Chains A and B, each alone.
Chain A
Amino acid sequence: MKIRTITTALAAAVLASVAPADEDADLVVEGETLITRAPAPAHVENLTEVLSGWLFRSDETQALQTDDFDNPGMIFVDQALDTWDEVDGAAGKACASCHEDPSSLAGVRTTMPKVNEDGELWAMEDYVNDCRTTRMEAEPWKWESQDMLNMTALVSLQSRGMPMNVAIDGPAQSYWEQGKEMYYTRYGQLDMACANCHEDNYGNMIRADHLSQGQINGFPVYRLKWAGLGSIHRRFKGCMENIRAEPFKRGSDEFTALELYLASRGEGLSVEGPSVRN
């Protein structure tokens, strides 16, 4: 405790020159206040409060997300709106043929990933591709393709402001346990677990990065560093590579289980997708 106090005081002095994030700011998007902090759900044992990654970003990055004209992710939502109405595949259908308006998918994002009828855990990308292949008889989209990112951004936007609320019991429970186990497993040559950075050290600087809780309510995110949208699994891959660990494949069962666990750690936080991060 004593050491930690000294560390923080010294570090604060050192960091005085770096633009601090406003961790007390409110995220108001187009007049609607989103929930960026919520009491931790009972199944998240080591946190008292869950916090959106938005709170940890610089004032400039924060501001980009408060106005849909400034949010660079919105261009891709517009692109997805075009795709929404486009017929593709042998069945001669578009998304709109079955779902009519995208707003019919409000709430979907809050429950993803979710166990399907066959008992398999699917992420939103899997559901989108299931529509494409079985209902439209079209080619599936690649996980990180522009089409897929655009569409998951459009679908996420329909749930903006609604609290994350994934099922973790019943058929989802074993997947959730698997994801939780991964969250606390040390990987790679740097031998760190997600929890080392995002549970034990959120709020602290790790070199130039201000550590957040690693929540996924903002995905897909527009990352300034990527100059584009990226999926949840792309972020997982990046974090694993940073600790010199061999990442799981995007769309793998492992990353989907980890995604479920993380989604459950963000229970109560508003869906923000597409959010803006640095």
Chain B
Amino acid sequence: MVRISGAVLIALLAAGPAGAEVVAPQQVIFDDGAVPSSLTGVPGNAEVGRTIAVDRKLGNCLACHENTDLAAEPFHGEVAPPLDGVADRWSEAELRGILINSKMMFEGTIMPAFYRDTGYSRILPDFEGMTILDAQQVEDVLAYLLTLTE
């Protein structure tokens, strides 16, 4: 308990002004797989999000998704649909939901949940209680996805 509030506090401080509240992973409310409201209240940065999407230790989206906008990066996966034009196919709220926990949208999907910190089996101790991306990183990747129109 104490540790969780500590983490939230740090996140709050990091988020800076306006007293924006960071929504904790277990507090996220889904509506048909979508999450309408921002996790941080701070608008995402698409440029940063683009880097996170490529980073193998963070989004690593290219592991599974092909993405023409990132054609300069080697090795795009074939496991998932291409990310080209996702912003035409999905709303902001839907994309946020897919990022936070795609299993709420696609039952049984291979895609990891990027903002979920419980319910894992045999998670490596280094990752125990942690999410793959933090709340602002989710908003940043979301901002990037919203640039992917055709």
Q: Which residues of A come within 8 Å of B, CB atoms?
A: 3-4, 6-8, 10-11, 14-15, 18, 185-192, 196-197, 200-201, 204-208, 240-241, 244-246
Contact = CB atoms under 8 A, between A and B. Distances in A.
B130 interface: yes
Q: Nearest 7 A-B pairs (CB), nearest first?
A: A11-B78, A204-B78, A208-B75, A207-B63, A196-B110, A189-B127, A246-B122
Contacts of B120: 187-189, 191
Given A11-B77, A201-B110, A241 B82 contact: no
Given A14-B71, A207-B77, A208-B75, 12 more contacts: A3-B81, A10-B84, A18-B75, A188-B120, A188-B123, A201-B79, A206-B63, A206-B77, A207-B60, A207-B64, A244-B124, A246-B122
B121 A207 contact: no
Contacts of B132: 189-190
B63 to A, nearest CB: 4
B79 to A, nearest CB: 5
17 contacts: A3-B81, A7-B78, A7-B80, A11-B76, A14-B76, A189-B112, A190-B112, A192-B110, A197-B110, A200-B110, A201-B110, A205-B79, A207-B76, A241-B124, A244-B123, A245-B123, A246-B123
Contacts of B122: 187-188, 240, 245-246
A157 to B, nearest CB: 34
Nearest to B80: A7
Which of B63, B78, B81, B130 has the most chain A CB atoms inside 10 A of its CB? B78
Interface in B83-102: 84
Given A205-B75, A207-B60, A207-B77, A7 B66 contact: yes
Contact of A205 (B60, B76, B82, B113): B76
Nearest to A205: B78
B62 interface: yes
Contacts of B19: none
A18 B66 CA distance: 14
Contact of B112 (A3, A4, A192, A200): A192
Contact of B127 (A10, A11, A186, A244): A244
A19 to B, nearest CB: 12
Interface string B55-71: 01000101110101001
Contacts of A4: 81
| Chain A interface, DSSP helix/strand/loop, else mixed | mixed
Given A189-B112, A207-B63, A6 B81 contact: yes
Contact of B74 (A3, A196, A208): A208
B64 A189 contact: no
Interface in B119-144: 120-127, 130, 132
Nearest to B103: A191
Contacts of A10: 66, 68, 82, 84
A241 B125 CA distance: 11
B109 to A, nearest CB: 9
Contacts of B126: 244
A166 to B, nearest CB: 26
Contact of B82 (A6, A185, A192, A200): A6
Contacts of A241: 124
Contacts of B60: 207
Contacts of A200: 110
Contacts of B113: 191
